[in-house]
Amino acid sequence: MGQSRLIHSNEFHLINKDEIRKATGKLVESLGLAAGSTDGFDIYKVVETYFTDLDKRQEINALLERVGEAE
């Protein structure tokens, strides 16, 4: 976004999709991943969806909560 203003969870939809893609690319590169999309898992799509779709974000959070409980 190029701004020093922090984005809060109720403002995720304000993040530009191109910025989400760039940041995800940096994550993929930093972790040394061969690709951001393999075997039906597309980290770019997951991150974009998390930040742009409130309903899907809630579903993802619920799944993560269940995984945390199982550990």
Check residue 8 and report its DSSP letter.
P
In a domain, 5, yes or no: no
Q: Where are the beta strands (DSSP E) in the chain?
A: 37-38, 41-42
Q: Which amino acid is at 63?
A: L
Say whether 21 sits in a helix, a strand or coil.
helix
Range of the domain at 59: 13-70
- Structure tokens belonging to residue 16: 């530009």
pLDDT at 1: 47
Let me know if residue 54 belongs to a domain. Answer: yes
**Residue 1: inside a domain, yes or no?**
no
Has residue 51 been placed in a domain?
A: yes
CB 32 within 8 A of CB 26: no
**Mean pLDDT, residues 42-63:** 93
Q: Is residue 25 situated within a structural domain?
A: yes
pLDDT tens-digit series, residues 4-52: 678 888 888 889 999 999 999 999 999 988 877 778 888 999 999 999 9
The answer to whether position 2 is within a domain reads no
Task: Please check whether residue 47 lies inside any domain of the structure.
Answer: yes
**Could you identify the residue written with the tokens 């991150």?**
47
Split into its structural domains, the chain has a count of 1
